[in-house]
Amino acid sequence: MKAYEYLAEILPDGHLSIPEDLKSKLSGESKIRVMLLLEDEETAWRNFAVSEFMSGYDAKDAIYDKL
């Protein structure tokens, strides 16, 4: 089994979008496994906070890692 990961959009008709490069790998009889991972608001804020905190980290800050 091969795995591909991408961010999909839910189309107005309720279907999920599939990137063109993946569509070419599928045939009309392809069977696929779909897993939906939905970010809740708390997870999104936590990820944002971590990314913002780490964006301010500099190699010079490594001196404090050993305290």
Q: What is the pLDDT of residues 50-67, one digit of tens each?
A: 888 878 778 887 888 777
CA distances from 3 to 11, 34, 39, 47 (A): 22, 10, 20, 24
- Read off the pLDDT band of 48 (50, 70, 90): confident
4 belongs to a structural domain: no
How many separate helices (H) and strands (E) can be counted in the chain? 2, 0
List the domain range (segments joined by +) for residue 60.
20-66
Give the residue with greater pLDDT, 39 vs 34: 34
Q: Is 11 within the bounds of a domain?
A: no
Q: What is the pLDDT of residue 11?
A: 93
pLDDT digits (tens, 9 = 90+) for 6-24: 889 899 999 999 999 998 8
The number of distinct structural domains making up the chain is 1
pTM value is: 0.47
Dihedral angle sign, alpha carbons of residues 11, 12, 15, 20: negative
Question: Is residue 41 domain-resident?
Answer: yes
